[in-house]
Amino acid sequence: MNGFHATHAGENTVNEPVSRRNFLKASSAVASSSLVSSSSQAEMQLARPANPPAGFSDRLSLRFEVNGKQVAVELEPRVTLLDYLRERAGLTGTKKGCNEGACGVCTVLLDGKRVNACLTLAASCDGARITTVEGLASANGTLHPVQAAFIEHDAFQCGYCTPGQVVSAVACIHEGHASDAATVHEWMSGNLCRCAAYPQIAAAVLDAAKKGERA
């Protein structure tokens, strides 16, 4: 395992026991390195010209503000914001579900607006401000009021959709779309919960909104 951890530069793994999260991260490092080689093969099969036409690039130098931190990264054009966040930035709080914009588990805030990270190219976000679920709590660990309300109202079962629900709810409240349960259901419709915790989710959103919190 140490060999795998060594590939994550800057990650402190020295005295850390093998947690589920780190095991998964290590596994995904293996999986993603095999993806890299298969996609290289795909690129070769495409027989694209060695050099892109004038005005186009194959490697992009991008800058984002992610959860308040300035980041510079070099990426292939096809990398989505979701894959960048999970595979490169190590922000695995943002989930990958349908990967086609149907489920909402990949919801993040892009310049303050909620979007599906799976339907957004990282390249299109150059110069933008991105907030993921990891960026909601305070530096001292105090939960965002929406996160606290989700716990208080037991607004999840399996929890897979929860990061997307929470980020979406922060935006929903900020937009002024949390006046009553029907409005919340309509404006949270982009986030599916297959455990069907919808009544609890709506209650949490309404409660957080009532407490006057703003994202």
Interacting residue ranges for other proteins, rule: CB under 8 A: 39, 42-43, 46, 48-49, 52-53, 55-58, 60, 76-78, 80, 99-101, 104, 107, 110, 113-116, 118-121, 123-124, 126, 168, 171-172, 175, 177, 185-187, 189-191
Q: In the complex, what is the shortest distance from the CB of residue 163 to other proteins, in angstroms, rounded to a whole number?
A: 13
Q: CB neighbours of 195 closer than 8 A, spacing ≥ 6?
A: 156, 157, 158, 161
Q: In the complex, what is the shortest distance from the CB of residue 138 to other proteins, in angstroms, rounded to a whole number?
A: 25
Q: In the complex, what is the shortest distance from the CB of residue 194 to other proteins, in angstroms, rounded to a whole number?
A: 14
What span, in angstroms and rounded, lies between the C-alpha atoms of 150 and 172? 14
Ranges assigned E (strand) in 67-174: 69-75, 107-110, 113-116, 129-131
For other proteins, the closer of residues 110 and 206 by Cβ is 110
CA proximity to 120, closest of 64, 71, 176: 64
For other proteins, the closer of residues 16 and 175 by Cβ is 175
> 52 by DSSP, 3-state: which?
coil
What span, in angstroms and rounded, lies between the C-alpha atoms of 144 and 54? 47
For other proteins, the closer of residues 34 and 124 by Cβ is 124
Element (H, E) at 66: strand 60-66
Q: In the complex, what is the shortest distance from the CB of residue 60 to other proteins, in angstroms, rounded to a whole number?
A: 6
For other proteins, the closer of residues 67 and 191 by Cβ is 191
What span, in angstroms and rounded, lies between the C-alpha atoms of 3 and 7? 7
For other proteins, the closer of residues 26 and 84 by Cβ is 84
Q: In the complex, what is the shortest distance from the CB of residue 184 to other proteins, in angstroms, rounded to a whole number?
A: 11
Q: In the complex, what is the shortest distance from the CB of residue 56 to other proteins, in angstroms, rounded to a whole number?
A: 4
Q: CB neighbours of 212 closer than 8 A, spacing ≥ 6?
A: none
For other proteins, the closer of residues 41 and 140 by Cβ is 41
